């Protein structure tokens, strides 16, 4: 647990330093995600109607929200 500094100027600097660390971590994570997306995009075959149907089936079989997503789609199609 951090104790607030007696000197408000030091406290603000500590706060700004932590914000800067958070920002840098966020930017590193964005770079990792972007690189991953680019790599996967180039390594995946083009989507076909059959592939889309297969991915949709997998989506609806997800254990947590699969059934909910399927119901949402069915309601949207009505």
Domain definitions of the chain by residue range: 1-44, 46-78
Convert the pLDDT of each residue in 16-60 to its tens digit: 888 999 999 999 999 998 988 887 766 667 788 988 999 999 999
- Greatest Cα-to-Cα distance within the chain, rounded to the nearest angstrom: 65
**Distance spanning both ends of the chain, measured CA to CA:** 54
CA angle 44, 69, 50 (to 5 degrees): 35
Q: In this model, does residue 74 exceed pLDDT 80?
A: yes
Residue-level pLDDT at 39: 79
Mean pLDDT of 6-13: 66
pTM greater than the 0.85 cutoff: no
* pLDDT value, residue 6: 64
């Amino acid at each position: 647990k951090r104790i607030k500094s007696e000197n408000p100027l030091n406290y603000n600097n500590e706060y700004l330093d932590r914000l800067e660390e958070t920002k840098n971590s966020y930017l590193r994570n964005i770079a990792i995600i972007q690189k991953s997306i680019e790599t996967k995009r180039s390594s995946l075959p083009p989507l076909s109607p059959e592939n889309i149907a297969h991915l949709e089936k997998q989506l609806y079989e997800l254990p947590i929200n699969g059934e909910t997503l399927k119901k949402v789609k069915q309601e949207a199609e009505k």
